Amino acid sequence: MPRPTEATIVLDALRSNLALARAHAPSSKCWAVVKANAYGHGLERVLPALAQADGLALIEFDQACRLRELGWKKRILMLEGAFDAADTAAARAHGLDLVVHCEEQLGWLADSPGDGPPVHTFAKFDSGLNRLGFDSASLRPAHARLSAMPAVRSVALMTHFANADLAGGADESMELFAAATVGLAGEVSLANSAAVLSVPTACRDWIRPGIMLYGGSPFAQHGAADLGLAATMVLRAGVLARRELQPGDAVGYGSLFRASEPMPIAVVACGYADGYPRHAPSGTPVLVDGMASTTLGRVAMDLMMIDLRQCPSAGVGSVVELWGDNLPIDAVAQSAGTIGYELMCALAPRVAVRVEALSAQSGAL
Ligand X SMILES: *Cc1c(COP(=O)(O)O)cnc(C)c1O
Give the three-class secondary structure for 328.
coil
State the minimum distance, in angstroms, from the CB of residue 162 to ligand X: 12
- Chain positions 319 to 338 lying near ligand X, rule: CB under 6 A, are none
211 binds ligand X (CB under 6 A): yes
160 binds ligand X (CB under 6 A): yes
The residue (of 132 and 273) whose beta carbon lies closer to ligand X is 132
Catalytic residue among 74, 253, 272, 341: 253
The answer to whether residue 35 is catalytic is yes
State the minimum distance, in angstroms, from the CB of residue 211 to ligand X: 4
> CA 153, 174, 140: angle at the middle one, nearest 5?
40
296 binds ligand X (CB under 6 A): no
Q: Which residue is nearest to ligand X (CB)?
A: 210
Spell out, one character per residue from 111 to 140, where the chain touches ligand X: x when CB under 6 A holds, - when not.
Answer: ------------------------------
The residue (of 285 and 340) whose beta carbon lies closer to ligand X is 340
Rounded CA separation 206/124 (Å): 14
Rounded CA separation 184/332 (Å): 44
* Residues 194, 164 contacting (CB under 8 angstroms): yes
The residue (of 24 and 35) whose beta carbon lies closer to ligand X is 35
209 binds ligand X (CB under 6 A): yes
Span interacting with ligand X, options 6-14, 88-96, 206-214, 220-228, rule CB under 6 A: 206-214
The residue (of 122 and 272) whose beta carbon lies closer to ligand X is 122
State the minimum distance, in angstroms, from the CB of residue 197 to ligand X: 9
* Residues 12, 19 contacting (CB under 8 angstroms): no
State the minimum distance, in angstroms, from the CB of residue 81 to ligand X: 11
The residues pairing with 55 across neighbouring beta strands, listed in sequence order, are 31, 75
193 binds ligand X (CB under 6 A): yes
State the minimum distance, in angstroms, from the CB of residue 318 to ligand X: 34
The residue (of 210 and 252) whose beta carbon lies closer to ligand X is 210
Span interacting with ligand X, options 100-108, 205-213, 251-259, 309-317, rule CB under 6 A: 205-213
Q: Given its phi and psi angles, is residue 74 left (phi above 0), alpha (psi -120 to 50 degrees) or beta?
A: beta
- What Cα–Cα distance (Å) separates residue 64 from each residue in 87, 94, 234? 11, 9, 26
Task: Of 121, 114, 124, 122, give the one whose Cα is nearest residue 150.
Answer: 114
State the minimum distance, in angstroms, from the CB of residue 256 to ligand X: 33
Rounded CA separation 262/173 (Å): 56
| Residues contacting 118, CB < 8 A, separation 6+ | 92, 149, 150, 151, 152, 153
Rounded CA separation 111/72 (Å): 28
The answer to whether residue 73 is catalytic is no
106 binds ligand X (CB under 6 A): no
The residues pairing with 97 across neighbouring beta strands, listed in sequence order, are 77
- Chain positions 25 to 84 lying near ligand X, rule: CB under 6 A, are 33, 35, 79
Rounded CA separation 360/343 (Å): 30
Rounded CA separation 45/7 (Å): 12
Number of Cβ atoms within 10 Å of the Cβ of 75: 17
210 binds ligand X (CB under 6 A): yes
208 binds ligand X (CB under 6 A): yes
Element (H or E) spanning 36, and its range? helix 35-39
Catalytic residue among 35, 39, 124, 276: 35
Helix axes 136-148, 171-180, angle to 10 degrees: 50
The residue within the footprint of ligand X, chosen from 218, 238, 277, 285 (CB under 6 A), is 218
The residue (of 74 and 278) whose beta carbon lies closer to ligand X is 74
Number of Cβ atoms within 10 Å of the Cβ of 32: 27
Query: Cα Rg for the chain, rounded, in angstroms?
Result: 23
Span interacting with ligand X, options 110-118, 207-215, 229-237, 357-365, rule CB under 6 A: 207-215
Contacts with ligand X: how many residues (CB under 6 A)? 11
Phi/psi of residue 113, nearest 5 degrees: -60, 160
Binding footprint of ligand X on the chain (CB under 6 A) = 33, 35, 79, 160, 192-193, 208-211, 218
| Residue positions annotated with a catalytic role | 35, 253
